[in-house]
Amino acid sequence: MKIALAQLNYHIGNFEKNTSVIIDHIEKAKNDQVDLIVFSELSVCGYPPQDLLEKKSFIELCGIAVEEIAANSNDIAVIIGSPTLNYHKKGKKLYNSAIFIENGEVKFIQNKTLLPTYDIFDEYRYFEPNDKFNIVEYKGVKIAITICEDLWDFRPTENTFARNQLYNVTPMDKLIEYKPDLILNIAASPFSYTKIWGRKNVFIRNAKKYNLPVFTLNQVGAQTELIFDGGSLVVNPDGTIADEMKLFAEDYKIYNLEDIKKCSVKKTIDEDPDVIAKIHDALVLGIHDYFEKMNFTKATLGLSGGIDSAVALVIAVQALGAENVRVLLLPSKYSSDHSITDAEILAKNLGVKHDIINIQDVVDSFNKSFQNIFKGLEEDITEENIQARARGTILMALSNKFGHILLNTSNKSEAAVGYGTLYGDMNGGLSVLGDVYKADVYKLARYINRNSEIIPENTIIKPPSAELRPEQKDSDSLPDYETLDKILFEYIELQKTQEDIIEEGWDKILVERIIKLVDSNEYKRYQAPPILRISTKAFGAGRRMPLVAKYH
C-alpha cells in the first residue's frame, strides 16, 4: 500500500482555501497512484477553531466541505479531520473526528478519545470524548486511526505535582485487540522548544510497544500565537525513525507500507538539534502567517539600537520582506549616540526604510503640562514612563496613518517581572519576542549573524538599557539575565515552588523578589498583545492566572 502524508498550512474558518488545497493534494495523490492520502487534525476547518465550534453555521460549512472532498475522492482513500455531530441525546454536541473516505463515500469515522484541557488546549469545552473503538480495513490492511492526544496518554513531566498518566483509558490498548497492521495519527501539535525530542519519543514508544509502524501527520503553520511546526514522522515497528518531514514548511511525501513494516527505511535524526535555529524559524513563520491570514502587508516597530528591537526587526524582515517593514528611531536626550548609530546601521544593512523623530519636545510638553500637579515632587518612574508612552503614541500614529501593524519587541524576561510600560513599549498588534527569554534573544542575535554581521556587534555586546534616565542599565533594577532567566524558567515553565528553587542554592532574597515581581505584574501581561508561543508556558492563553489573587 502507498500512503501519502500531506502536511499542509490551513486557515481557520477559510473553508474555500482548506477544501481547495485538500482536493488539490488528493488529485496529486491520484496521479502518483497513491492508495491512501492523509490530512491533519481538524484540517477541514483549521485548528484550533475555538468558539467558532459553537456556531451552527460553522458546523454546517464543515459538513459541506466534507461532502465536497468526498465527491473528489473516487479511486482513492482519504483521511481528513473535521468536527462531526453527536447524535446521542446526552453529551456535548460535537466530536473531534477523523473521517475515512473511500471511493467517494464516508466509510468510517473515528472520534477522538482523549481531549486535552491543559496549556493552550481546551477541547473538552467543545467535544464529547469517544468511548467506542474499532479499526478500518482497506485493501486488506487493518488501520488503527488515532487523533493527536490519543497517543499521548503518558507523558514525562518535570513538575512533581503534575501527573504522568492524565487519562483513565489508553485508546491503542483498545484498538490493538483488533490486530491492526499500522497506526495512523492525525495531529495538530504546536511547536515548543522544550519538547523537540519529547514528541518524537511518544511515537517511538508507541511503535515499540505495539510493534507496529506509526504514521503521524502534524499540521504546519501559525494560527495567531500558536505555531505548528509540522515535522510529521514515520516510525518503524522497532522504534527507529523511517522519515521526518520538513519543519515549519508544507510537505508531501509518499511511503510504501511494506518497506516501513520491514524496517528497511531508516533516517538519521539529529539528536542534538539547534534549538535557537528552530526558535528563529518558528518566529519567522509566526509573523508571516499572522500577516498573511489577517490580510496585513506592512509592519513597523521602534528601533532603539538595543538587542530586542534589532532581533525583532531582522525576523520581521525575513518574514515579510524589507520593502514591507518601516521603522522609527525615537531618541530622547538620554539616548546614546551609539544607540542611534547602531540602529541606523542595522536599518541600512537590511534595506529597511527608517525615519528619526526626536521625542524630547513631546516629552518636555508632557512634563510642562504636569508641572503644577507634580510641583514639589521628585522625578521618578512616572517621567520615565512618559518617554515610553510618547514613543508608543508616535508609533501608533504611524501605524494608523499608513495601515502598518506595530510589532511589539519586549522579551519574556521583561514581561515576567513587569519591566515594561503599559501603553508605551507594551504597545503592538503582535509580540515577537514575548516568549523568548533575554539570554535567548542574545543567542538569536548570534544565530542571525552566523554568516555575516547583520546586527551591529556593539548592539550585542553593550549592557542592555531602556535609556530613560542618565547612565541607566537594566542591571540597576534586575539581576543579570542569565541568573534571572534560570529562576524564571524554574518558576514559570517547571512550576517549582519558591522553596524548591531556594533549596537548589539560589539566594533566598533574590528568589523571593523575582517571584513577587512575576506574581504582581499579571495585570500588565493581561493587556499585552498576542505573543508568539515557542514554549509550553507562554504568557497568554496557556497560562491562566487570576489578576486579583492574594495567593503568593
> pLDDT digit of tens for each residue in the chain (552 aa)?
999 999 999 999 999 999 999 999 999 999 999 999 999 999 999 999 999 999 999 999 999 999 999 999 999 999 999 999 999 878 999 999 999 999 999 999 999 999 999 889 999 999 999 999 999 999 999 999 999 999 986 554 545 454 456 678 899 999 999 999 999 999 999 999 988 888 899 999 999 999 999 999 999 999 999 999 999 999 999 999 999 999 999 999 999 999 999 998 888 877 778 999 999 999 999 999 999 999 999 999 999 999 999 999 999 999 999 999 999 999 998 887 888 999 999 999 999 999 999 999 999 999 999 999 999 999 999 999 999 999 999 999 999 999 999 999 999 999 999 999 999 999 999 999 999 999 999 999 999 999 999 999 999 999 887 667 777 777 777 889 999 999 999 999 999 999 999 999 999 999 999 999 999 999 999 999 999 999 999 999 888 888 888 776
pTM check: above 0.85? yes
Residue 31 · residue 64 · CB < 8 Å = no
What is the span of the domain harbouring residue 308?
278-478+521-526
Asked whether residue 255 is domain-assigned, the answer is yes
Q: Do 267 and 308 share a structural domain?
A: no
Q: Do 376 and 240 share a structural domain?
A: no
Cα–Cα distance, 176 to 38 (Å, whole number): 21
DSSP assigned state of 151: G
User: How many domains in the chain?
Assistant: 2
In sequence order, the 6+-apart residues with CB closer than 8 A to the CB of 403 are 298
Asked whether residue 511 is domain-assigned, the answer is no
Q: Do 303 and 240 share a structural domain?
A: no
Asked whether residue 224 is domain-assigned, the answer is yes
Q: Do 282 and 265 share a structural domain?
A: no
Q: Do 62 and 48 share a structural domain?
A: yes
| CA 248 vs CA 288, 335, 437: distances in Å | 11, 38, 21
41 is catalytic: yes
**What CATH number did the domain enclosing 197 receive?**
3.60.110.10
Residue 406 · residue 301 · CB < 8 Å = yes
For the beta carbon of residue 355, count every other beta carbon within 10 angstroms: 11
Residue 65 · residue 18 · CB < 8 Å = yes
Cα–Cα distance, 533 to 226 (Å, whole number): 6
Which pLDDT does position 197 carry in this prediction? 80
Asked whether residue 299 is domain-assigned, the answer is yes
Asked whether residue 537 is domain-assigned, the answer is no
490 is catalytic: no
Asked whether residue 80 is domain-assigned, the answer is yes
* Grid cell digits, residue 92: 456535548
Among the candidates 243, 272, 301, a domain finishes at 272
Among the candidates 218, 249, 272, a domain finishes at 272
- Residue of 114, 79, 125 whose CA lies nearest to 98: 79
Q: Do 343 and 214 share a structural domain?
A: no
Which one of 128, 148, 174, 293 is the catalytic residue?
148
In sequence order, the 6+-apart residues with CB closer than 8 A to the CB of 420 are 410, 414, 426, 524
User: Taking the mean position of all CA atoms in its chain, how far away is CA 471?
Assistant: 37
Query: Can you state the angle between helices 337-350 and 307-320, rounded to 10 degrees?
Result: 10
> In which order are the strands placed within the sheet that holds 77-85?
105-111, 94-102, 77-85, 36-38, 2-7, 251-256
Q: Do 210 and 144 share a structural domain?
A: yes
- Residue of 398, 405, 400 whose CA lies nearest to 296: 405
Cα–Cα distance, 266 to 444 (Å, whole number): 32
Q: Do 341 and 255 share a structural domain?
A: no
Q: Do 214 and 295 share a structural domain?
A: no
User: Taking the mean position of all CA atoms in its chain, how far away is CA 205?
Assistant: 25
| CA 458 vs CA 41, 219, 342, 347, 445: distances in Å | 46, 40, 7, 15, 12
**What CATH number did the domain enclosing 402 receive?**
3.40.50.620
Which one of 45, 62, 112, 278 is the catalytic residue?
112
Residue 403 · residue 298 · CB < 8 Å = yes
User: Taking the mean position of all CA atoms in its chain, how far away is CA 429?
Assistant: 16
Cα–Cα distance, 413 to 435 (Å, whole number): 8
Asked whether residue 504 is domain-assigned, the answer is no
Asked whether residue 416 is domain-assigned, the answer is yes
Hey, is 508 helix, strand or coil?
Answer: helix
Among the candidates 254, 272, 290, a domain finishes at 272
Residue 40 · residue 74 · CB < 8 Å = no
| CA 99 vs CA 43, 79, 403, 444: distances in Å | 11, 5, 42, 41
Q: What values do phi and psi take at 113, rounded to 5? A: -90, -50
Cα–Cα distance, 136 to 150 (Å, whole number): 17
Q: Do 188 and 145 share a structural domain?
A: yes
Q: Do 61 and 206 share a structural domain?
A: yes
62 is catalytic: no
Q: Do 258 and 236 share a structural domain?
A: yes
Amino acid found at 277: A
Query: Can you state the angle between helices 56-71 and 15-31, rounded to 10 degrees?
Result: 20
Cα–Cα distance, 61 to 434 (Å, whole number): 35
For the beta carbon of residue 95, count every other beta carbon within 10 angstroms: 25
